[in-house]
Amino acid sequence: MPGGSPKRPEPTSDGWSPRTEASVWLGLGLLGVGVVWFTVRAVEIDRSLDAASRQLASAGPPDAAPPPAPAPDAGAEQHITLSWTVGAPGEPAEPLASVRRAAEELLARRLPHGLRRGAVIRAVVEAARAPKEPRVLALAVRAAGQPEARFYRFDGNATGRLVDEEGRELVPNPWQAPLATLRRTSPFNPKRMHPVLHRVRPHEGTDYGAPSGTPVYAALEGSVSWVGPHGGHGNWVAIQHENGVETGYAHLSRFAAGLKRGDHVATHQLVGYVGSTGRSTGPHLHFSASRNGVYFDAETLLAMRLRELPADQRDAFRAEKGELDRELDDIGDPLPAASRPGGGDEPASPANDSVSQPRAAASGARRQRR
C-alpha cells in the first residue's frame, strides 16, 4: 500500500480522551471560580477588619463615661448594652436611640400582641460607627405577666434573622389578618354539630366577631374570583391567590366600592365590610380558605411560623447564646414607665415595682469579646 503510514492520531489521542479534556476544563473553571471566591472573601475580611478597627475607635454612649481605649485587636467585637422600659421618659441619645427603635421594631413583629407599655427590654448591641447601623445581637423582653423572652443573632443562621432561646427563627408570613382585630368566635371544624339543625354540618371557615361595618381586608394579594351574593355565604368576596389557595370573606354588609370579578387586589386591600347577610345569626366575618375546592383551616395561614436551626448548628448556637446570656444577665434595670394620667395603664411588671433606685433609662456599658 503506497504511503501506508498509519493515520495520524487525533490530537485527543495523545493521552487525552475528550472526557479527560472536559475534566481539565472543568477543573480550570472551578479553579477560576475558587480564585474569584477567595478574592471576594479576602475583600470581605479586609472590610470587616476595617469596620472592626473603626468600631474600636468609635465613641461610646454619650451619657456614659468615656471608656478606656481598648487594645487595637481587630478581631474583637465591641458590645454596648442598654436597657429601657417601653413608655418610660428619656430617649437615649443617638446612636442608642436608633438601636432602641430597631429593637422595638424587631420585637413588635415577633410578639403576638406587639410591644406593650411597661415592657422592660435589655439589649446587647454590636458597636458600629455611622453610617453602618449598630447590629442588635441579643434582646431580652419582660412584659407584664409574661415570662421573659430572649432573642439572639447567630452567625450560623444563614437568613441573619434573630432566633429564640430554642434557636428557632420566625419566618416572615406574607398572609395578613382580614380584620384589624381578630376575635375568634367559632373555629374551623369539619365535624361541627349544627346548633339549630342538630346534625353534623362542617364549619368550613373561622368566624371572627366584629361590629357591622368593620373593614375587611384581602389576606394576600390575588385576583378577585367572586363578588356578590353566594347562598349561605350572603354577600361574599373570594380571592384566588397565586399559590393555589382561594380565600373567602362571607356575610358582608357591603363590598368595597367598585370591586369586581377579575380585579387584582393587593395584600391588605379593602374588599368589604362586616355584616350579617346569608346564613348568619349576627355580624361577624366568616373567613375561609380552600385549595382545589377543599376547605382547610384558614387560621393556619395566619399562624406564626418558626424554623428550627439545622441540627449541626445547635452546639455552636448554644455556645454563642451562653455568652450573650451572660451579657444580658449583667444589664441593670431601667427606669419604670411613667403612669399615664387618666388610668388605662397596663399593670406594671412586678420587677418594675421593686426598682427603688431607678438607674438611667439607657445604661451604657462596653465590653470586649473574643
Which of 346, 361, 344 lies closest to 143, judged by CA?
Answer: 346
Q: Is 233 in the site for Zn ion (CB under 5 A)?
A: no
Q: Is 207 in the site for Zn ion (CB under 5 A)?
A: yes
Whether the Cβ atoms of residue 263 and residue 240 lie closer than 8 Å to each other = no
Output 223 or 276, the one with its CB closest to Zn ion.
276
The least CB distance from residue 119 to Zn ion, in Å, is: 35
Torsion sign across C-alpha atoms 99, 102, 105, 110: negative
The least CB distance from residue 212 to Zn ion, in Å, is: 16
Edge-to-edge strands of the sheet including 149-152? 305-307, 169-171, 163-164, 149-152, 135-142, 120-126, 77-85, 365-369
Point out which span in 109-117, 201-209, 316-324, 339-347 binds Zn ion (CB under 5 A): 201-209
The least CB distance from residue 204 to Zn ion, in Å, is: 8
Question: Residues near 363 by Cβ (< 8 Å), separated by ≥ 6?
Answer: 64, 81, 82, 83, 331, 332, 334
Point out which span in 173-181, 205-213, 240-248, 350-358 binds Zn ion (CB under 5 A): 205-213
The least CB distance from residue 117 to Zn ion, in Å, is: 35
Question: Residues near 16 by Cβ (< 8 Å), separated by ≥ 6?
Answer: 24
Output 205 or 234, the one with its CB closest to Zn ion.
205
Q: Is 204 in the site for Zn ion (CB under 5 A)?
A: no
Torsion sign across C-alpha atoms 346, 352, 357, 359: negative
Burial of residue 163 (CB within 10 Å: 0-12, 13-18, 19+) is buried
The least CB distance from residue 205 to Zn ion, in Å, is: 5
# residues near Zn ion by CB under 5 A: 3
Output 139 or 238, the one with its CB closest to Zn ion.
238
Point out which span in 55-63, 170-178, 262-270, 285-293 binds Zn ion (CB under 5 A): 285-293
Q: Is 286 in the site for Zn ion (CB under 5 A)?
A: yes
**Cβ-proximal residue to Zn ion, closest one:** 286
Contact positions toward Zn ion, by CB under 5 A? 205, 207, 286
